[in-house]
Amino acid sequence: MDLIEKVVIVTGAASGIGRASARMIAEAGASAVVLVDMDAAGLTETAKDIMAETRQITCDVTDPLALEALYKTVTDRFDRLDVVFNNAGIVSGPPPFPDTDLERIRRVVDIDLTSVIQSSALAIQYMRTNGGGVIINTASTGGLNPYLSDAPYAASKAGVIMFSRSCAELHEQYGIRVNAVCPGVTETPILDKTGGGTRPEWLGPIMEHIKALSPEDIGQTVLDIIKDDNMAGEFVVVQNEPR
C-alpha cells in the first residue's frame, strides 16, 4: 500500500517507536495520522513534527469503551481507515519475575496483548466492509527468545506474534494484511522503565556486544511492511547489529 492520502492510527505515539513511526508515516504521504496515547503532553510534542493533519486522542488502550469510541471518531471524521499500528506497550519493571505483583502482570498482558487484539478486531470489523487495510502489531524479539526476568512481557509479545500470524487468512478474505514487527533493543524511554527509572543491570553486558536500534529503524520496517502488498500473517525481526 502506498500511504498517499491514507488515514492511519498509531498507538503509543507519545514516545519512542510510535512517535518516530507517526512522523515517518506522515512524511510518506498519509493525509491524516491519529496519535493515540495516555500521555497527552507527549502527543502534543509528537504532533509538532508532523506536517499531515493530526488528531490527538488521549486514552488508555486497555479501556474497551475508549477504544470503541476511538474507532468511531476516526471513521466518522475521515470516512476511511487504511492503517493501524498497535504499538503502545510497557514492561513489568522491577521486581523481576516471579516476584512481579499480580496487578502489574495483569497490566502488562492487558496493554501488550489484550488491547492489541481488541484494537485489531475493531479495525478488521471496519476494514472488511471498507476495502481492506493494513494492521501492524508491535511484538518484540523478547517474544521469540526466553526471557525469565520479564516472562509476562515475553509471553504477551509471543501472543502478539501468534495473534498476527493467525490473522493471515484475512488477506485473502478481505484484503486485510495483519503483521507483527519484532524490534530488538531500541533506544527509547522504555529501557529506563525496565529498571524502574534506571537501566537494569542485566542490560549493561548485553549493550557491550550490540548496537541499540533507533526508533527510526523500527519506523522504516513499519513503512516496509505497509508497502509490501504480499506480506500477511508474518513477523519481521529487526535485529541489533554486533558492536
Ligand X SMILES: NC(=O)c1ccc[n+]([C@@H]2O[C@H](COP(=O)([O-])OP(=O)(O)OC[C@H]3O[C@@H](n4cnc5c(N)ncnc54)[C@H](O)[C@@H]3O)[C@@H](O)[C@H]2O)c1
12 lies in the site for ligand X, by CB under 6 A:
yes
The residues that bridge with 22 in the sheet, in sequence order, are: none
Q: Which of 6, 15, 118, 179 binds ligand X (CB under 6 A)?
A: 15
Q: Is 153 a catalytic residue?
A: yes
Q: Give min distance, CB of 37 to ligand X, in A.
A: 4
Q: Give min distance, CB of 43 to ligand X, in A.
A: 8
- Select 155 or 191, whichever has its Cβ closest to ligand X: 191
Residue span binding ligand X (CB under 6 A) among the ranges 55-63, 144-152, 199-207, 222-230: 55-63
156 lies in the site for ligand X, by CB under 6 A:
no
Restricted to residues 78-137, the positions that interact with ligand X (CB under 6 A) are 87-90, 111
Q: Which of 60, 216, 228, 234 binds ligand X (CB under 6 A)?
A: 60
Burial readout 154-166 (b: 16 or more C-beta within 10 A, e: otherwise): bbbbbbbbebbee
Q: Which of 3, 9, 18, 92 binds ligand X (CB under 6 A)?
A: 18
Residue with cell 498476527: 164
What is each CA distance from 185 to 73, 74, 160, 181, 192, in whole angstroms? 34, 32, 17, 13, 12
Question: Any idea of the CA torsion for 136, 237, 168, 166, to the nearest 10 degrees?
Answer: -100
Burial readout 55-72 (b: 16 or more C-beta within 10 A, e: otherwise): bbbbbebbeeeebeebbe
Q: Which of 190, 203, 207, 210 binds ligand X (CB under 6 A)?
A: 190
Alpha carbon 83 to chain centroid, angstroms: 12
Residues annotated as catalytic (active site), given as ranges: 153
Q: Which residues bind ligand X (CB under 6 A)?
A: 11-12, 14-18, 37-39, 42, 60-62, 87-90, 111, 138, 140, 183, 185-186, 188-191
